[in-house]
Amino acid sequence: MMEAEARLLVCMPETGKGGAVTAYAGYLRDLLGGQVNDTWLAAQKDKACLKQTDCDLIVCGELEQSCLEQVWAGQPPASLLWARRPRWPIQNILLILRFEETDNAAVEWLERLALASSAAVTVLPIVPSLPAMHRLGNRIQTGLDLLLSANTPAGRRVRRLARRMAGWQISSGLRLRQGEPEQQIREEVAEGNYDLIVIGAEPGHGRSHHFQSGELVGPLLRWVERPLLIARPSRTS
């Protein structure tokens, strides 16, 4: 589990251009009962500064892709909150469940933020690709059958999460869609009034090329306007 006090690092393009992100980080600090450990200016191009700052969550505004890569590589295993257009207070959260090991980190952040904000939560399970289905031990059922059946690993994961969220005593729901993974996410984000999207990092999250070209996170970073939390396992997980 995560530590009780959240440690935040704010990353801004340059001095004087990160007011909204700084205010957003302050809101998160107060919400989580944590602290902002430092502020990193992308113009400094100083990766050593990133490595010296101990944090759990990096809050970024509008940064170039190369700067995002520096942040991602410089602060393992911190999670990243990409806030191109910060939105607060947090009242509606979308969790993208992808059936990878990093889902656990995403659910930990979801629980922490949802309980602190009393936000409503919607879970969007993405039907795994064929290689992921094989890792889950399923070679026959596909599509929504994979998620709805109580006899598949994916179906059991969805049910465990539903039972866990029931104990949070907040409004929550499950949304099932069909189609390509990115299409499912685009449709849900377009139709839902979400203040925050939470997703687990790509498998192999310690390597920068996964951050750029992953199946789900890479495309999301290119088009999503809502704050996006990319979760990586914490030091104490």
On average, the pLDDT of the chain sits at 79
- Does the domain formed by 7-82 have CATH 3.30.1760? no
| Mean pLDDT for the stretch of residues 144-172 | 84
Maximum distance among all alpha carbons in the chain? 55
DSSP calls for 186-229: HHHHHHS--SEEEEEPPSSTTSHHHHHH-SSHHHHHHH--S-EE
Q: Please give the Cα distance from 47 to 67 (Å, whole number).
A: 10
> What's residue 140's pLDDT?
41
92-214 matches 7-82 in CATH topology: yes
Q: Is the peptide bond before 227 cis (omega within 30 degrees of 0)?
A: no
Residue 147 has pLDDT above 90, yes or no: no
> What's residue 206's pLDDT?
47
Task: Kindly provide the residue ranges of all beta strands, DSSP E only, lying in 42-189, ordered along the sequence.
Answer: 57-60, 79-82, 92-97, 120-125, 172-174
> What's residue 62's pLDDT?
72
Residue ranges of the domains in the chain? 7-82, 92-214
Query: Which positions ≥6 away from 159 have C-beta within 8 Å?
Result: 150
> How would you classify the pairing of strands 228-231 and 79-82?
antiparallel
- The residue that leads in pLDDT, 64 or 91, is 91
Q: What is the pTM of this model?
A: 0.84
CATH of 92-214, one of 3.40.50.620, 3.90.1150.10, 3.30.365.10, 3.40.190.10: 3.40.50.620
H or E element at residue 118: none
pLDDT in tens, 10-62: 887 665 556 888 899 999 999 998 888 666 655 555 555 555 567 888 898 87
Residue 230 has pLDDT above 80, yes or no: yes
- The residue that leads in pLDDT, 234 or 202, is 202
pLDDT in tens, 115-124: 999 999 999 9
Query: Which positions ≥6 away from 9 have C-beta within 8 Å?
Result: 36, 37, 38, 39, 40, 50, 53, 55, 57, 58, 59, 75, 78
User: Sign (positive/negative) of CA torsion 173, 8, 102, 45?
Assistant: positive
Residue 159 has pLDDT above 50, yes or no: yes
Cβ atoms of 220 and 228 closer than 8 Å? yes
Burial group, residue 182, by CB count within 10 angstroms (0-12, 13-18, 19+): middle
Task: Kindly provide the residue ranges of all beta strands, DSSP E only, lying in the chain, ordered along the sequence.
Answer: 7-12, 35-41, 57-60, 79-82, 92-97, 120-125, 172-174, 196-200, 228-231
